[in-house]
Amino acid sequence: MTAIKPQPGIMDIALYVGGKSHVDGVTNVVKLSSNENPFGPSPAAQEAVKRSVHELHRYPSTDHRALRDAIGEVHGVDPERVICGVGSDEIITFLCQAYAGPGTEVVYTEHGFAMYRISALAAGATPVEVRERERVTDVDAILAGCTDRTRLVFIANPNNPTGTMIGLAEVERLAEGLPEQCLLVLDGAYAEYVEGYDGGAKLVEHRDNVVMTRTFSKLYGLGGLRVGWGYGPKDVIDVLNRVRGPFNLSGTALAAAEAAVRDTTFVEKCRSENTRLRGWMAEALAEHGVPSDTSTANFVLARFADQEEAEACDLYLQKQGLIVRRVAGYNLPHCLRITVGDEPSCRQIAHYVGLFKAGAR
Ligand code: PMP
In a shared domain, residues 148 and 125: yes
In the predicted structure, residue 123 carries a pLDDT above the cut 90:
yes
Look at residue 316 and tell me if it is in a domain.
yes
Domain boundary among 233, 263, 293: 263
CA dihedral (67, 72, 77, 80) in degrees, to 10, reads 60
Over residues 124-179, the pLDDT tens digits come to 999 999 999 999 999 999 999 999 999 999 999 999 999 999 999 999 999 999 99
Q: Is 256 exposed, middle or buried (0-12, 13-18, 19+ CB in 10 A)?
A: buried
Mean pLDDT of the chain: 97
In a shared domain, residues 312 and 346: yes
Q: Locate the ligand 1 atom nearest the alpha carbon of residue 92 and give its number.
A: 10
Look at residue 2 and tell me if it is in a domain.
no
Alpha carbons 303 and 28: distance in angstroms, whole number:
26
In the predicted structure, residue 60 carries a pLDDT above the cut 90:
yes
Q: Locate the ligand 1 atom nearest the alpha carbon of residue 156 and give its number.
A: 3
pLDDT at 25: 86
Over residues 89-116, the pLDDT tens digits come to 999 999 999 999 999 999 999 999 999 9
Over residues 318-361, the pLDDT tens digits come to 999 999 999 999 999 999 999 999 999 999 999 999 999 999 99
Neighbours of 53 (CB within 10 A): 9
In a shared domain, residues 137 and 280: no
* pLDDT mean over 174-193: 98
* Minimal-distance CA residue to ligand 1 atom 7: 189
Q: Locate the ligand 1 atom nearest the alpha carbon of residue 161 and give its number.
A: 5
According to DSSP, the β-strands at 299-303 and 335-339 are: antiparallel
Output the CA 357–ligand 1 centroid distance in Å: 31
In a shared domain, residues 123 and 194: yes
Q: Locate the ligand 1 atom nearest the alpha carbon of residue 88 and give its number.
A: 16
According to DSSP, the β-strands at 228-231 and 82-85 are: antiparallel
Alpha carbons 291 and 357: distance in angstroms, whole number:
12
pLDDT at 167: 97
According to DSSP, the β-strands at 30-31 and 322-323 are: parallel
pLDDT at 20: 81
Provide the b/e sequence for 111-145 (b: ≥16 CB within 10 Å): bbbbbbbbbbbbbbbbbbbbebeebbbbbeebbeb
Contacts of residue 231, Cβ cutoff 8 Å, sequence gap at least 6: 77, 81, 82, 201, 204, 211, 212, 213, 214, 237
Look at residue 333 and tell me if it is in a domain.
yes
What is the domain-level CATH number for residue 195?
3.40.640.10
Look at residue 85 and tell me if it is in a domain.
yes
Look at residue 304 and tell me if it is in a domain.
yes
* pLDDT mean over 58-79: 98
Output the CA 189–ligand 1 centroid distance in Å: 6
Look at residue 4 and tell me if it is in a domain.
no
Give the mutation target among 16, 83, 88 for probing the ligand 1 site: most ligand atoms within 8 A of CB: 88
Q: Locate the ligand 1 atom nearest the alpha carbon of residue 223 and give its number.
A: 15
Q: For the chain, how many residues are written? A: 361
pLDDT at 124: 98
In a shared domain, residues 236 and 295: no
pLDDT at 19: 80
In the predicted structure, residue 28 carries a pLDDT above the cut 90:
no
Look at residue 1 and tell me if it is in a domain.
no
* Minimal-distance CA residue to ligand 1 atom 5: 160
Output the CA 348–ligand 1 centroid distance in Å: 26
Output the CA 186–ligand 1 centroid distance in Å: 12
In the predicted structure, residue 1 carries a pLDDT above the cut 90:
no
Output the CA 89–ligand 1 centroid distance in Å: 6
In a shared domain, residues 28 and 54: no
* Minimal-distance CA residue to ligand 1 atom 8: 34
Find out whether the peptide bond into 127 is cis, omega within 30 degrees of 0: no
pLDDT at 79: 98
Residues having CB closer than 6 A to ligand 1 are 87-89, 113, 156, 160, 187, 189, 215, 217, 223, 228
> 249 φ, ψ to 5°?
-115, 135
* pLDDT mean over 65-71: 98
In a shared domain, residues 88 and 218: yes
Look at residue 189 and tell me if it is in a domain.
yes
Least confident of 23-27, 164-168, 250-254, 342-346: 23-27
Alpha carbons 256 and 60: distance in angstroms, whole number:
13
- Write out the residue range of the structural domain in which residue 25 sits: 10-40+265-357
Output the CA 214–ligand 1 centroid distance in Å: 8
